[in-house]
Structure formats: C-alpha cells, structure tokens
Amino acid sequence: MVNASLLIAISSGGDNAELAEQGIGMDHVEEMSVRLARRLLSDGHRLAWGGTLGNPNQRLTMRLIDSAHQWVDENAASQVDVTKPDTWPLVNYSAWDSYKSISDEQINKLVGICNFIKIDPPSVAEAELLGPLEPGRATRLRSDALTAMRKLSSAQVDLRIVFAGRIRGAKGWMAGILEEVVCSLELDKPIIIIGGFGGCSRLIADYLSDLKALWPEQLNLAACADPVRDATLTVDERDQLNQRMGRARELLNENRTSLHTKANVSGVSSDELLLVLPSVNENAREIINVCASIAKKLSNK
Amino acid sequence: MPSPVSIYVVHHLKSKVATKLASDLFDWFRLSLLTENQSNAGLPVYFRRRIVEARLQPDISFSDSDLNIVVLLVDQEMVGDIDWRTALVRFAKSARTWNKKHVGKNRVQILPIAMHEGLYRIPEVYENFNPIRSLDMPLDQMTAFLRRAVIEAAARFVRADNSDVTPPLNVFLSHAKRDGRQIAEYIRDSVRSFGQMVAWYDANDLPYGGKWKSEMMKSARTDTAAMVATVTDTYPSRQWCRREATEARTPVRLNRAINRPGIWKVQPVVGIYNLGNLWTRPMPMLEGVPRIGWDAMEPRKTTERLVDRLALEVMLGLVHRKVAVSIARKQTKRTDICYLTWVPDTWTLSKLRQIMLAGKEDVAKIRYIVYPGYGLAKTELSELDSVVQSFHRDSQLVSFEEAMSW
C-alpha cells in the first residue's frame, strides 16, 4: 500500500488511421488504458481523465468507471466520503459543450465513484453558452474550453501519463496530448510519456528520446486547423496562438535537455522516464510497472 | 518468448463494416475487458490497416509466433484499390514461401474472408488459401459467422499441433434430464455444426450410470474432451451432474518431466444457466467456469456463442500450456513452482492440493502457483489467499506475465 493516494491523469485516445502505423488500433489503446487504470487504482491512487460519459463512442469512459467499481483498493474505498468528491476514485473532466451529453442521472448514479468536473470556455457569459451560436464561434469556444480543461486538470493532478493520442483533426487548438504535456510542463508537474502506442505521444517521445532529433513537423497548428473557427481569430489572437506553439516547442526542448542531463525531472527519475519513451517499447507490463513505480515513489515523497 | 498464437486482422480502414468486425474479433479473442476481468488470459490480436508501397505496414514478423493466423477481410474497398490488391498478392506469396521454408514451426495460416466477389479475382489468395464466403450478410450475422470461422480455423491448427489430422473434440453435455433436456438438445445440434466437435449427449450415447467416466477420462487425457454444463434448477441436486462437473474440473497433471510439481490442466468447461423459480445453490466446482444465460427467444444465437466460447476455451487451454511449458523450461531446477493452465479459483486450487497430497507430494514446497494472463485483481487474489496459503504460508499466485520476466 502506498503512503498517500495520488491523483493521476491518464491521457490517451487516438485515431485508428494514425495508430495503424504501429499495427494497432483504438482497441489496443483502450485495453492499455484499462490495464493501467486497474493497476493504479489497486495501488490506491485516484484517476483523472478527459472524456464524455454520454458519448456512446467513449467506450473507454465506461470501462474506466467499471474498473473503479471492481479494482479500487480496499483502503482507498474505505476512505471514500460521499460528501467529499476529492476522495472519490475517479475524476472526469469534460469540456463545454461535450458535457451536455452527461445526464444528471448518470452523475447521480456515480456519486462516490466519479467526480464530474465541467469546464466552460473562460470569460464567456453563461447566457451566450446557452444560446444558439454561429458555427465558427461555437467551434472556437469548444477549443477554448478544451484548453481551459487541460490547464485545470494539469493544475489538479499529481502526475500525468500520456500515450497514443490523435495527431491531426483534434477539436482543440493543438493536438490534445501535446497541449496536456505542455500544460504539465508549464506547471513543472511530473509527466510520463509513453512512445510505444504510436500517435501524438510517439512523436513527442521520439523527439525527447534523441537530443539531435528535429521537431516533428506533424505537430503543428495546421494539423488541428479549422477554417471556420480560425476565421474568427484576430491578427493578435493568431500571434498569441503561434506564440503558444513556439512556447510548446521551447518547453519540450528544455524537457529533453533535462531528461538527458539531469537525474530527475519534476521529481521523477530520468532513467525511468527514458525507459518508457522509445516507440519500440510495446511491453505493456514493463510500461505499467514503470508507471506504478514512479507513482509509488512520488506518493512516498 | 514467442507467442503460441497471434491473430492479425487485415482490412481497409475505409470500410466501417470491416473495422467493426476487426474490433469484434479483438474483443472476442482478447476476452473483452468489459465483460471479463479474470486475468485477461486471451490471445494477442493485432491489426494491419495500412499499406506503404503496396506492402502491409508494419510487416508481420512470422517468427514472433508459433502460429500466425492472418484474417483478410476482403471487401470492395480492398479489391477496388490496386495497392491493396498488390499488397494481398505479395503477402500471400510471402506466406506461402515462408510455410514451405519453415515446415512445422512459425506457421502462417491465412483466412481470406470474401466480403466481396472481387476476392475471386485474386487467385494468389483464393487458390492457395481457402476463402470463406460471407457475401451479403447482415452485420450481426457476419460477426457470428466470422467469429466461428476464425475460432474453427485457429482451434484446428492449435489442436492439430503441426500434425495433419485434428482429432475430434468430444463435447460432453452435462444436464439434468428433468429440466435441462431441451437446452442440451439445442446445444447438441449446435455442436454438430462445429466442424471438429462430436456431442456426447447421454440420452443417445452413454448408458445411464455406465462407463461414461472412463470414456470421459480417456478423452481428457488425450485432450479430446470438453464439457458444457447446462445448469438448471435441478442440476445441482443431481448426483450425476455434480460428479460430471467435479470430474471435468479436477486438475490433471500434464508433464512431470519438465518440472516436478508439474503443469496442470482442467477440462475446458462452459456453463449455460437457465434458472427458474425454485430455490437452488451454486456449485463450487463451477465457480471459475465462464457462463452465459439461456435466451429462449434466441436459442440459436445463444448456443452458437456457447459453442464458440467452448472452442476458445479449448484453444486457450492448449495455448496456456505452451506458455507454461516455455516458462517451466527456464526454471527446470526449481521444485517450488507449479503451473496452471486455467485461471485459478478456490475449488480447483483446493482440489489440486488434495490430489497432490493424495500422491504423497510435499505441497508445502510450493511457493509459486503460476497461472495464465496479466494477473487477477487484488480483491480476487485476496479471496484466494486462504487456499493458496494452505500449500504454504508463503505460497503466492504469479501470473504468466510476471513469470515471463523471471
């Protein structure tokens, strides 16, 4: 049993066409997510993820909830207090307007199991969110809400684990995994990047693995461009977006240097982080063991 | 360590039907995480959905598995794409060449599924590997059809174990005559439609109270027996039913030579439950048996799923055995490990101990009981603590996955 329970975010997802390069699909990613979730839950940790329960395509969400029912550690379960959502084993972050598909009944059914946190786009009046919106405005607010969700979850979790993830066509301003990694790095939060399941995480992992590697060209704003949404941006806003992307590259470059030159990065052993980076490492057991080991060490601090 | 069996599903990503079928096969052979949480002791399944320069990408490394089953979902997207057609021809040629060069090991078995007539215009594929027709089927029917086709082929190859002949599998239909006869008859008919199975239905084939046990045991020793338990209200109260279930679930040692405590197996068993309104009790010997409820509205679908699952259990038993043997071969000097080829439960573990004690074996020597899969949940493991520690207070369960890293 660990000394203290961590809140650990599991970020995965992806696209079958992109994952096909590895000979795998979303089925494999979901299986890995659930295996990892089971291990971390049974070690007494709490889990966080972004996803929408009401979306029938989100089979993963249902599986994680199912895992929490079956795999939560006995001690952790005994500490669950229905009046204190921060004791519940799962936290689900859901951004506007996806969260509309989560019904009150679903939320009520999962009291004591899953704390649903709904995130609105910042600085937008509630009335506007309720009313009809121009398509460009709506898409933009969705992207803003996703960014806000990633910032909030990064601030709240103790550790983030990322693997797979969509490269092109994400709903946010940039690929979701990339934005989550950047949010974590900005806050100097521990993050484990697993390259072995392809997708966006693999691109980042390949870059971090090799000090001489060039920035992966596929990771750019154009990969997630939406002409209707992007037409609503002012020149200044476009500049800010480009600056954010530039900042992402800087942070990952700094992170890469740290991984290869320092013993620890954000309180985690660089050796362990480097072990799960390579895209050739598809050994799920080893990866899960490394994640569990890192979580255990962090919880003992 | 090469995997005994790997399954690859090859399809065009534009085809939604093929994508869904591939996902269904994944769930079926992986033992879907949602419905099964017992150690996830399924088979590895991979996809090939991408071609680069008219070749499947990534390559399939045939040497990674003793048996590579490659399911080609050939639909109109695939036959209509020249790069895919070329990739299929190249792949079929490479598989044929490989099989000629590597007789008896790392075999490649291609299963072309004809979802479009265009497959019959690719002779390299259809002439050398028997295609299975699934033209114009509705999706749910195709899912069941494909599952059956793949499981039949996989079971045939795994059971034949590189010989040319697959022995028939005798399926014993254990049921109580009073309320289980009708279901057992449905199952008997479904078993007959599965190429390699022969149904033993006691009303026809075995004299009541006769020599069924010795016949069953003979089949069990030669890996040609499996059982379906039709659990109805009266089933637990029937002495014969209990004996049949006990017999099937009693561990049998497979190989003493590799490792002294040995590799153990139980007969593959699946259960079908049709409980009515009478008070009844569960049967402990069936605790770890996969089971499904009887659906009187869809008897054919239910029995098909049941029979397919039985075939999967048979195949998994053989696959787990190969894994156990390969782990044991690395640990030949150790006499404190015994290997199970099924996911353990209280009853089978307790029976195992009883059999070892009856054979005057020192059960206290056993420190590790190795079992298939990634590992049970903590709660499941803690439920087994008392029986595991009845071997020795330090005895523990170790999953195949953990044992592979020894």
CATH of the domain at A24: 3.40.50.450
Q: Return the pLDDT at B210.
A: 53
CB atoms within 10 A of CB B83: 13
| Average confidence (pLDDT) over B59-82 | 93
Per-residue pLDDT, B204: 47
Of the listed ranges A158-167, B216-225, B315-324, the one predicted with least confidence: B216-225
Across B179-190, b (16+ Cβ under 10 Å) vs e yields bbbebbbbbbeb
- Looking at residue B216, what is its pLDDT? 60
**How would residue A2 be classed by pLDDT, with cut points 50, 70 and 90?**
very low
B37, B47, B374: residue with CB nearest A25: B47
pLDDT > 70 in chain B, percent: 90
Containing B102, the helix (H) or strand (E) segment is: none
Euclidean distance between CA atoms A299 and A281, whole angstroms? 26
Report yes or no: B30 and A31 within 8 Å, Cβ to Cβ.
yes
What's the pLDDT band for B39 if we cut at 50, 70, 90?
low
B406 vs B399: CA distance, rounded Å: 11
- The secondary element (H helix, E strand) that includes residue A65 is helix A59-71
- Top pLDDT among B240 and B20 is at B20
Pairing of strands B3-10, B65-74: parallel
Helix (H, G, I), strand (E, B), or coil: what is residue B271?
strand
ipTM here: 0.88
Q: Which value, to the nearest 10 degrees, does the dihedral of the CA atoms of residues A114, A115, A121, A127 take? A: 110
Does residue A253 lie within any of the structural domains?
Answer: yes
Q: Which amino acid is at B285?
A: M
Residue numbers of the domain that contains A164? 7-300
Cα separation, A223 vs B151, whole angstroms: 41
- Which H or E run includes B215? helix B212-221
* Residue A2 domain flag: no
Least confident among B25-34, B42-51, B225-234: B25-34
* pLDDT band, very low/low/confident/very high, at B35 (cuts 50, 70, 90): very low
Instruction: Classify residue A22: in a domain, yes or no.
Output: yes
For residue B43, the surrounding DSSP H or E stretch is: none
Is the pLDDT score of B38 beyond 80? no
Nearest to B70 by CA among B103, B34, B45: B45
Q: In B, residues 87-146, which contact A (CB 8 Å cutoff)?
A: none
Of A141-145, B147-151, B155-159, least confident by mean pLDDT is B155-159
Query: What percent of chain A is predicted at pLDDT more than 70?
Result: 96
Greatest pairwise CA separation for chain A in angstroms? 54
Kind and range of the H or E element at B91? helix B82-101
Task: Answer for the pair A277, A208: CB distance below 8 angstroms, yes or no.
Answer: yes
Cα B89 versus chain centre, distance: 31
Contact B200, B171 (CB under 8 A): yes
- pLDDT digit string, tens, across residues B99-156: 999 877 788 999 999 999 999 989 999 888 888 888 888 888 888 888 888 888 888 8
Strand pairing class (A268-269; A264-265) = antiparallel
Task: Examine residue A265 and state whether it is found in any structural domain, yes or no.
Answer: yes
DSSP, collapsed to helix, strand or coil, labels residue B305 as helix
Residue B295 parent element (H or E): none
Q: How far is A249 from chain B (nearest CA, A)?
A: 29
Compute how many other C-beta atoms are within 10 angstroms of the C-beta atom of residue A1: 11
Q: Distances from the Cα of B1 to the Cαs of A139, A240, B146, in angstroms?
A: 49, 51, 29
Give chain A positions within 8 Å (CB) of B406.
Answer: none
- Cβ neighbours of B402 in A, within 8 Å: 285
At how many degrees (to 10) do helices B139-160 and B299-329 cross?
40
| Residue B57 contacts A where some CB pair is shorter than 8 Å | yes
Q: Which residue of B has its CA nearest to A15?
A: B13
Query: Would residue A1 count as lying in a domain?
Result: no
Confirm if B253 and B201 have CB atoms less than 8 A apart: no
Tokens of A59: 């089979």
For residue A208, pLDDT beyond 50: yes
Judged against a pLDDT cut of 60, whether residue B21 lies above it is answered with: yes
* Rounded-to-integer distance, Cα B243 and Cα B203, Å: 17
The total number of structural domains in chain A stands at 1
Of A20, A31, A63, the CB nearest to B49: A20
Closest CA to B261 of B389, B364, B330: B364
Question: CA-CA distance, A292 to B76, in Å (whole number)?
Answer: 45
Smallest Cα distance from B372 to chain A, Å: 14
Q: Which residues 29-68 of A are in CB contact (within 8 Å) with B?
A: 30-31, 34-35, 38, 42, 59, 62-63, 66
Per residue in B202-240, is it b (16+ CB within 10 Å) or e — as a string?
Answer: beeebeeeeebeebbbebbeebbbbbbbbbbbbbbebeb
* DSSP bridge pairs for B7: B45, B69
Entry pTM: 0.88
In the predicted structure, residue B206 carries a pLDDT above the cut 70: no
CA distance B405 to chain A (A): 9
Phi-psi region of A162 (alpha: psi -120 to 50; beta: other; left: phi over 0): beta
String of DSSP letters for A235-255: HHHHHHHHHHHHHHHHHHHHH
Question: Which residues, in sequence order, are bridge partners of residue B352?
Answer: none
Using DSSP, state whether A124 is helix, strand or coil: coil
Q: Which of A44-58, B17-31, B39-53 has the lowest mean pLDDT?
A: A44-58
pLDDT category of residue B34 using cuts at 50, 70 and 90:
very low
CA-based Rg of chain A, rounded to a whole angstrom? 19
Mean pLDDT for all residues in chain B: 87
Whether A125 is covered by a domain: the verdict is yes
- Out of A146-150, B99-103, B325-329, the most confident range is A146-150
| Residue A99 CB burial class (10 angstroms; 0-12, 13-18, ≥19) | buried
Handedness of CA B132, B138, B140, B141 (dihedral sign): negative
As given in the structure block, the two tokens for residue B14 are 């534009």
Q: Please report the pLDDT score of residue B138 as a whole number.
A: 86
- B23/A contact by beta carbon, under 8 A: yes
Structural tokens at position B349: 């573990």
Q: Provide the pLDDT confidence category of residue A190 given band limits of 50, 70 and 90.
A: very high
Nearest partner of B285 among B334, B230, B236, judged by Cα = B236
In 10 A of CB A91, how many CB atoms?
22
- Residue B223 is predicted with a pLDDT of 67
C-alpha span between B207 and A255 (Å, rounded): 75
Distance from CA of B206 to the nearest CA of A (A): 43
